[in-house]
Structure 1
């Protein structure tokens, strides 16, 4: 299976803040419970009032009839002066209003037996809306011997009933506030327990930046403590693995450079001497042919020209295999020689070299890699981009160092820019040395090659070579 067949589709989900989520959930639960309980209280109050009005109608009718008989004789059929004193004792308990009319539909008396207290206007308004205007009990007031002298109407006392409903709603509100207070009491220890998550995120950011020695804090929450311990174990194993891989990569770089030096020596000693010998022989043959056999002179000159071309090509290969002056004179001089060679070959391009800091004191592997990166960057820029200006900037900041090569060439556009073997080799070198490599297009055109080696990477290379 290749890397394309093993890809798993990524699934994204919304991030959840546990503290806020918990606070919102419990608060919403408390509000729903409060609203539901308030609605139940109002519903029960409406049902109770409706039943209560119908049940108390007969009792009110007897009491009013008795009061009417006490003050009236058989020849006087009037309800004038009635004050409904017979309901003074039971009226406040019943929570009703009573209106009395005579036989001519004239209002005689109207009383609501409210024993004090008040409820918010919204409670009374909701209660009146739910009860409606049609809830009442209408009865007849008669006098002996069965003569009708008037009528009465019993309606709910909304002021008294709203006070009773408000007392129940206050109990519900108290329960709701209690749940919200409990939510706050739960939220505080949860927030305190999850407070180390900020420190954990900070450690993750440091590790993402390349600081693999960063370790997690040890929170009081046992679940987070176990996660932190497991993560530290994985980070330690990763650090050991990367250190082993980096050591192997550094060793491979050293072996590669040693092989290049050996090959350069072999080419210089063997092929260089052979080509020099062939050139000398060609010169001797040319001199002898010019005096004795002029027909052989063109062949001798051709051999000398081919030999000179091969010698020049060999010199170019030797320059690629073994940097001139890097070991003898240091990185600064080697870079000056490298850029100077390009100035002579590319007269229409402006080359700038800026060196800052003690770069010659860097470890040998790092100096060689910096030289190779500059060498490959210049080759790529001039081969693919046709630039008018190339700038090389090498500086050592503190214990680390940074390399940047900018060109204004027009080549290497598109998604395949920087995907060649040369760029891959530069990337491998930088990664092996613990640095960061970047290849960035410039605006309006051009390319930037950047290699950054932090202080930790420099110390690691020094320790490895020591």
Structure 2
């Protein structure tokens, strides 16, 4: 059992650098803001807990001292208690003090904060973090050990929240500054990467066959170097393809010249020999009719075989060198070609549409168009049973376009046919700067498409000149 080759690694997902950078820095600023806010709230909670636990005894002594100043030893009322002794230390501790007398009646409830109230969201968070159970409860006594009331020390959420909000606001300002810096960085990065759209447009032009397209020169030095290297490769590719195209055109010209020479040799040599054989067979048949009738069937058979060979030779000569193409032009040659197939295939409907100055095309393009139509008709009728075959050839300002469509089954692959074949058709079209395609049609049928842009026609005409 053979081991399977390892699967190729998956291609990484595409990343937009501008948006990726903007998202990263924005998330970083958001993380700093959230983390710093959590730290500030945590520190505030710990500070509040420490203040409550440490300041409870001090508050108890100060309240007891104030209560002793207001009453004598035989009076247990807390009337007149204002907690004035806590005015200096209360704002520093961030506390609220509630005092009740011996009968659980509230006497005084004060929060010692000098700043404004805390924002509602900050106060709500502190309430959830601290909880209602955080408080210091104490007893207000009077000498000699008599209880006169109770007090409760709780956090002053407005004071603590305001202090926490000042710190959080500083952190949020830092996060906002990071976001602003992100925008300041994003703008030059976007401006530096803006030529990426132009680069993609140039790549699209080159993909469409325009090898003369060149990259823009961005301000970013890395992209500038890439563009210069790409242009150099494109120039080398353009030169290589131009050399290959010239070689292909030369090979096509040599091929057509060889076809003409072979047709001339067959016509002059083989055709003359067949004509001589036919004449001799006719002479033998005429003499045998009067002298030896037994030779008459053989003479007629030789004459029939000679006639069949002459017809086959005419078909071969027509394949090698289209009759009337050089003398009467491409339109007349195509009309004659389609008319010949119409006579041989009476059950198929043939349509030919020619528009534009077709006869003014260059010689090599004229021959190639004729050969493509010839091979396309042969393949359509040899490998399918079409009911209709349509040939369309058009030339205008956008170039030259050839379409050969049929509605046959086309199950069998195209064969070389007349020696051109699909590969030969593609080579002819690409050698002349065009684009070739073989497209299936729905629900059945095939389309042969050959497009030649105006630039390709100009180059061809220039080369002919």
Q: TM-score range by the shorter chain?
A: over 0.9
- For the residues of structure 1 that align with 2:28 and 2:416, how far apart are their CA atoms? 57
- For the residues of structure 1 that align with 2:346 and 2:308, how far apart are their CA atoms? 22
- 1:97-176 counterparts in 2 under 5 A? 97-176=96-175
What residue is the counterpart of 1:38 in the other structure? 37
- 1:316-395 counterparts in 2 under 5 A? 316-395=315-394
Kindly state the Cα deviation for residue 31 of structure 1 after the two structures are TM-superposed.
0.6
SS at match of 1:210: coil
- 5+ residue gaps, structure 1, are 1-5
CA contact (8 A) 2:390 2:405 kept: yes
Kindly state the Cα deviation for residue 78 of structure 1 after the two structures are TM-superposed.
2.2
- For the residues of structure 2 that align with 1:17 and 1:69, how far apart are their CA atoms? 76
CA gap of 1:113–1:213, structure 2 versus 1, over 3 A, is: same
What residue is the counterpart of 2:20 in the other structure? 21
- 1:213-362 counterparts in 2 under 5 A? 213-362=212-361
SS at match of 1:434: coil
- For the residues of structure 1 that align with 2:80 and 2:196, how far apart are their CA atoms? 81
SS at match of 2:313: helix
Mean Cα deviation higher: 8-17 or 206-215: 8-17
- For the residues of structure 2 that align with 1:157 and 1:9, how far apart are their CA atoms? 65
CA gap of 1:83–1:8, structure 2 versus 1, over 3 A, is: closer
- For the residues of structure 1 that align with 2:9 and 2:326, how far apart are their CA atoms? 50
What residue is the counterpart of 2:48 in the other structure? 49
CA contact (8 A) 1:377 1:449 kept: yes
Mean Cα deviation higher: 249-258 or 71-80: 71-80
- For the residues of structure 1 that align with 2:240 and 2:148, how far apart are their CA atoms? 108
Mean Cα deviation higher: 179-188 or 74-83: 74-83
SS at match of 1:109: strand
SS at match of 1:406: strand
Mean Cα deviation higher: 187-196 or 94-103: 94-103
Q: Give the TM-score, by structure 2 length.
A: 0.95
- For the residues of structure 1 that align with 2:18 and 2:283, how far apart are their CA atoms? 93
SS at match of 1:135: coil
- For the residues of structure 2 that align with 1:322 and 1:10, how far apart are their CA atoms? 55
SS at match of 2:438: strand
Kindly state the Cα deviation for residue 12 of structure 1 after the two structures are TM-superposed.
2.6
CA gap of 1:447–1:192, structure 2 versus 1, over 3 A, is: same
- For the residues of structure 2 that align with 1:179 and 1:23, how far apart are their CA atoms? 11
Deviations 1:31-70 (A, max 9, x none): 1111011011101110111011111112211211110110
What residue is the counterpart of 1:186 in the other structure? 185
Deviations 1:179-235 (A, max 9, x none): 100000000111111111111111111111111000011010101101110110010
Kindly state the Cα deviation for residue 21 of structure 1 after the two structures are TM-superposed.
0.9
SS at match of 2:428: helix
- For the residues of structure 2 that align with 1:92 and 1:135, how far apart are their CA atoms? 18
- 5+ residue gaps, structure 2, are none
Kindly state the Cα deviation for residue 386 of structure 1 after the two structures are TM-superposed.
1.6
CA gap of 1:417–1:28, structure 2 versus 1, over 3 A, is: farther
- For the residues of structure 1 that align with 2:310 and 2:429, how far apart are their CA atoms? 33
CA contact (8 A) 2:414 2:421 kept: no
Runs of 4+ that moved beyond 3 A = 6-11, 103-106, 416-421
- For the residues of structure 1 that align with 2:31 and 2:205, how far apart are their CA atoms? 44
What residue is the counterpart of 1:396 in the other structure? 395
User: What number of residue pairs does the alignment pair up?
Assistant: 460
CA gap of 1:266–1:435, structure 2 versus 1, over 3 A, is: same
CA gap of 1:117–1:418, structure 2 versus 1, over 3 A, is: farther
SS at match of 1:385: coil
SS at match of 1:382: helix
Deviations 1:339-389 (A, max 9, x none): 111121112222111111111111111000000000001111111122122
- For the residues of structure 2 that align with 1:411 and 1:64, how far apart are their CA atoms? 108
CA contact (8 A) 1:418 1:439 kept: no
- For the residues of structure 2 that align with 1:207 and 1:270, how far apart are their CA atoms? 51
RMSD across aligned C-alpha pairs, in angstroms? 1.9
What residue is the counterpart of 1:3 in the other structure? none
CA contact (8 A) 1:412 1:418 kept: no
Deviations 1:97-116 (A, max 9, x none): 10112334333221111224
Kindly state the Cα deviation for residue 330 of structure 1 after the two structures are TM-superposed.
1.2
